[in-house]
Every structure is written in C-alpha cells, then in structure tokens.
Amino acid sequence: MLYRMGEAKRPVTRRMVKLRMYPTPSQASALADQGHAARALWNVLHEWYDFHAPSRWSSFKEADEAIRQGRRELAWLAVLPAQACQQVLKQYAQAWQSHLGGSRGRPRYRARSRTKLSVDVPQASALKTVRLNRKWGEVSLPLIGRVRFRYSRELPGLDRGAPEGRTTGARLVREADGWYLVFRCECIRTSPAPGSHPGPAVGIDRGVAVPLATSDRDHPYLRHGPWLQPKEAERLLRLERKVARQRRSAPPGKPVSRRQQRTCRQIAALHAREKRRRSDWQHKITTTLADRYGLIGIEKLHVAAMTASARGSAVQPGRAVAQKSGLNLAIRREGWGRLQEMLEYTSRERGGLLVPVPAANTSRRCSACGHVDARNRKSQAVFACTNPECGYGPVNADVNSAYNIETDALHAASRPNGSASSAALGSRVDGRRVPA
C-alpha cells in the first residue's frame, strides 16, 4: 500500500503508536512467559559472549543456528516465536555496536526485577490487525492467538480517515499497569510547506510554578491539575516509606521477599498512572498550540544539563544541593524534553514553525524597553522594569519572558542565519506591540 510498482519513493516519517491490550488472564501469563524467555535468551547470549573471549564470538549466522536448535530442544525457549528470538539476537548485537560506538553503556544481564518485559513481532503481516468497531481492535500474536486492544488512536493505512501509510511491525511491552501494543508505523509525509500556517506567533515560557506561560493575552497560562490526586500522592509516600523499611530489614543475601515485590509493583503502578496523565495532557496541549499558532517560539533548554546533579564532588561540594534536586524533580515531572519533541512534530504536520531561541536573559530582560537587569526580577513570580524611563510592570515574570521569546523567535525566523539579538525589536507596552 505504501509503494506501488513503478511509483516514485515518497518521503515517510516513522512513528510509534502505543495502544493498550486486553489479553485474557491465560493470554497475559503466556505473554509474560514469552517476555521472560526473551529476557533469558538475552542473558544466555550475554553469558556466552562474556564467558568466551570476544574473538570466539561466532558470526551472526552461527548464533542464529544455535538459537534454532535451542528452540527445538528447550521447552522454555520454544514458547518464544522464532522471529522474536532473532530479534533478541539483533538487539543484542545492536547493543554491543552502540556500546563500541560510545553511545551506550556495556550490555548487562537482564535481571527479573528491573527488566521491562517485551516481545517483538517484527512483521506486520503476522499481526492481521482488524478493527472490530469504533473502540476495539484485534491482532494475532504468534503462539498466543487473537488479542483485543483499545483503538484509542488511528493506525496509518488501516482505517478510512487515518493518515496514509502502513504498520511495519510491533512490540509488546508490559508496563506497570498492563500490556501495550506498540506499533511501528510509516506515514507518508503530506505536511504542508513549513511556514504556511496562517496563525499568529506566540512565545512560550516553560516554568515550574505555572507549567506554560504564553505571550497570548487571551490564553496567558496553560495549566494542568496535579498528576496525582492528594490521596494518591499520600499513598505513594506511604508506600515509598514502606519499601525503604522493607529494604532495611531484609536479611542480606536472601532473595527479595514477596511482600517487598508487591510494594514495588504498587509504587510502579502509581508512577505509571502519573506518567499516563502527563502524557495525555502533553498530547492535548501540543495539539491545541499547533492548531492555534503558526510560529511558536520556545526557549532552548538543555534539560539533561539542567537536571544534572548539583552535588559536586567531595573536594568541591556543590551549592544548594537540596533545592537543586527539588527543582530537578519538578523539571523531570514536567517532561520538558518530550513536550518540545511533540510540539515540533505536531507543528510541522500543520505547516507551523517551532523556533527555539537562546534562553540567555529572556527572564531578566524587559519586554517593553529591552533593559536587562537582574533586579528587574522582583521575585520568582513578579517582573518590574528598573529603567526609570520605562517603568513597565509589575507583571507576571513568566509572561514577560514569553513576550521576549516571541520577539526573539520572530527575529530568528526572519533572519535564518542570525540568532536573535538580546535587545527587544519592537517595544511593547503592557503586552501590546508599539513601533520602536
């Protein structure tokens, strides 16, 4: 369906579509068996490679032969479909390549307790995906049978009205709250030309007190409720204390008790719920923003560097370690990096532009006169210009930053080679742009 014979190759974008599966209890336990078999196979490969000298690492083909034979002789391995076995081997080889390329750590054993179970179904044709009705779909999983899943998003190429494209395979993943089907999809790119979105420009400042502040006077703040309700947060804290207590009193060298395992599962389920709510809000808010605005300015933030520990070393201890780690947690809870990624592709699909601008001074600069002064920032929340000729403010500090980000983004977009200057272009009085 993607390429007909003789048709020129059209550009595709790859994306994942993650849908919740509802296996029956016996299907779920068979899936878990497959997941553990995949994990065990990984460990066997790792042991083999680690135990023998690397020069004795046989070729891909020999390892494949060994796995085929193993599937015939070993009951625990036979539960894992042949193609999923090959996929484990490919991933293991890939893990070493990434490690030797320097992008990842050394491959490790996959312990039962810390491994997220997953099984690959590399060929989409094996899945025989059908849609039963508006809400439910069904797939064939090798050695499992037909399993239902929730049709919460359209699958490219399968439904009328869905984006043109196809699914190329899937991965079955067990999260804390159940099994998910992650489809690998290729969509034919039919995005309008970049910059063709007729909507206005906006600047967005990402904060911790207010998740997003914008330069749009009609929608200055984009908020969300707490990811966990007070009762749920309380329960999480209680469970975390409980598992700490269980860890302290566990006899050394003994396997983890069933009670402790259960506490860990309960904690993981709460974290999964938090993650699901956050991701849901992010999807909704980025779609709204991408629909509404043609140009979106955003701060270039290096989340990884920002959330690096402030602890420092024993010789040079860091400053304000506790405050920094609290802020780190708040930043990670917001999932900024992910939000920016989502905003990038949702805007592109609609012909909009996402323009990251340097973050330097956007919070200390006056959006009306361009005066830069740390004292402009009266507090975390309030901005008031110290330039006696201007006197802009007091206004919300995040909104002032958002105005600056919009100005810088407009400037950067009109001059693709030059970065935004730190001085404001058009002066602004109380949010209205007036000629300089």
Buried b (16+ CB within 10 A) or exposed e, 377-408: beeeeebbbbeeebebbebbbbbbbbbbbbbb
What is the closest distance, in whole angstroms, from the C-beta atom of residue 384 to Zn ion in the complex? 9
Q: Which is nearer to Zn ion, 280 or 430 (CB)?
A: 430
Task: Report the nearest approach of Zn ion to the CB of residue 206 (Å).
Answer: 23
Residues binding Zn ion: what is the number (CB under 5 A)? 8
Q: Which of 140, 191, 261, 387 binds Zn ion (CB under 5 A)?
A: 387
| Minimum distance of Zn ion from residue 390's CB (angstroms) | 3
Contact between 420 and 358 (Cβ < 8 Å): yes
Q: Which is nearer to Zn ion, 110 or 428 (CB)?
A: 428
Q: Count the Cβ atoms, other than its own, within 10 Å of residue 218.
A: 6
CB of 295 to Zn ion, least distance (A): 24
Checking 249-257 for CB contacts under 8 A at 24+ apart, the result is 256/113
Q: Which is nearer to Zn ion, 210 or 423 (CB)?
A: 423
Region of 65-73, 162-170, 337-345, 382-390 interacting with Zn ion (CB under 5 A): 382-390
Minimum CB distance to Zn ion smaller for 218 or for 389:
389
Among 12, 385, 395, 424, indicate the residue that binds Zn ion (CB under 5 A).
385
Pairing relation of β-strands 145-150 and 12-22?
A: antiparallel
65 Rama sector, left if φ>0, alpha if ψ -120 to 50, beta otherwise: alpha
Considering beta carbons, is residue 87 or 376 the nearer one to Zn ion?
A: 376
Give residues 320-379 in contact with Zn ion (rule: CB under 5 A).
Answer: 366, 368-369, 371
Q: Which is nearer to Zn ion, 34 or 376 (CB)?
A: 376
Instruction: Quote the least distance from Cβ 405 to Zn ion, whole Å.
Output: 16
β-strands 165-175, 145-150 pairing: unpaired
User: Which residues between 254 and 273 bind Zn ion (CB under 5 A)?
Assistant: none
Q: Which is nearer to Zn ion, 263 or 376 (CB)?
A: 376
User: Could you tell me which residues are beta bridge partners of residue 357?
Assistant: 299
Based on CB atoms, which residue is closest to Zn ion, 303 or 384? 384
Q: Which residues inside 218-237 make contact with Zn ion, applying CB under 5 A? A: none
Q: Is 8 helix (H, G, I), strand (E, B) or coil?
A: coil
| Smallest gap from residue 372 Cβ to Zn ion (A) | 10
179 binds Zn ion (CB under 5 A): no
**Residue 424 binding Zn ion, by CB under 5 A:** no
Q: CB neighbours (10 Å) of residue 307? A: 18
Residue closer to Zn ion (CB basis): 120 or 406 = 406
Minimum CB separation of residue 360 from Zn ion in Å reads 18
* 3-state helix, strand and coil shares in percent for the chain, rounded to the nearest 5: 40, 20, 40
Let me know how long the chain is: 436
Q: Per CB under 5 A, which region of 16-24, 103-111, 215-223, 386-394 contacts Zn ion?
A: 386-394
Asked if 392 touches Zn ion (CB under 5 A), the answer is: yes
Q: Of 349, 341, 340, 351, give the one whose Cα is nearest residue 299.
A: 340
CA distance 77 to 314: 48
Other Cβ atoms closer than 10 A to 39: 21
> E-assigned strands of 305-412?
353-358, 382-383, 395-396
197 contacts Zn ion (rule: CB under 5 A): no
**Binding footprint of Zn ion on the chain (CB under 5 A):** 366, 368-369, 371, 385, 387, 390, 392
